[in-house]
């Protein structure tokens, strides 16, 4: 059996990145369309608010009246799009429960038409 004596690497050498100035997050967010509010969906406050809306609406889609036991298939949706307005985002009276299909279908088409 033949023995390989050496195999040249086809990979180039990795150069270390030069130290750069700290990133200005506010400037990055402005360039990306100012969507800082997307982070709000990952907070414990949002998860608690979402749960209270699902319980209030008895885990029932407010459009098609479908009762869904799997909460991953339910969305706490903003009736009036908040578009980054914190008051509208956190307002429980502006939220309702929709099933994923109602939220992804008719509701999204309506919001796109309103823009």
User: What CATH number should be reported for the domain holding residue 78?
Assistant: 3.40.1800
- pLDDT 10s digit of each residue in the chain, 115 long? 666 666 666 655 655 555 555 655 555 555 555 678 889 999 999 999 999 999 999 999 999 999 999 999 999 999 998 888 899 999 999 999 999 999 998 788 877 777 6
- Name, in order, each residue with C-beta under 8 angstroms of 101's C-beta and a sequence gap of 6 or more: 64
Quick check: is 17 in a domain?
Answer: no
Residue 41 lies in a domain: yes
Cα distances from 89 to residues 38, 40, 85, in angstroms, run 11, 9, 6
**pLDDT of amino acid 36:** 84
Within a domain: 6: no
């Amino acid at each position: 059996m033949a023995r390989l004596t050496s195999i040249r690497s086809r990979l180039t050498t990795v150069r270390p990145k030069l130290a750069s100035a700290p990133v200005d997050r506010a400037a990055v967010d402005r360039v990306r369309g100012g969507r800082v509010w997307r982070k709000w969906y990952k907070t414990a406050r949002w998860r608690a608010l979402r749960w209270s809306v699902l319980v209030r609406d008895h885990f029932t889609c407010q459009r098609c009246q479908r009762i869904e036991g799997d909460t991953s298939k339910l969305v706490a949706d903003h009736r009036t799009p908040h578009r980054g307005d914190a008051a509208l985002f956190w307002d429980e009276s502006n939220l309702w429960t929709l099933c994923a299909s109602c939220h992804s279908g008719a509701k999204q088409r309506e919001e796109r038409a309103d823009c």
